[in-house]
Amino acid sequence: MKIRIEHDRCRGAGQCTLTAPELFDQSDDDGTVVLLNEQPPPELQA
């Protein structure tokens, strides 16, 4: 599994950071999503 962010579709609501904080963060400057790990460990894959 590989994760990518589609910035043009992101609403900036922060749901990804709430759901998987070990994979996503939000920029303090403009609220855009930051991907911390594009290949999550097996225990996080559903």
Encode pLDDT of 10-42 as tens digits.
888 889 999 999 999 999 888 889 999 988 888
Every domain of the chain and the residues it spans: 1-39
- At residue 15, the pLDDT reads 93
- At residue 17, the pLDDT reads 94
pTM given for the model: 0.76
How sure is the predictor about 5, in pLDDT bands with cuts at 50, 70 and 90? Answer: very high
pLDDT at 46 over 80: no
With b meaning 16 or more CB within 10 Å and e meaning fewer, what string describes 1-36?
A: eebeeeeeeeeeeeebeeeeeebbebeeeeeebeee
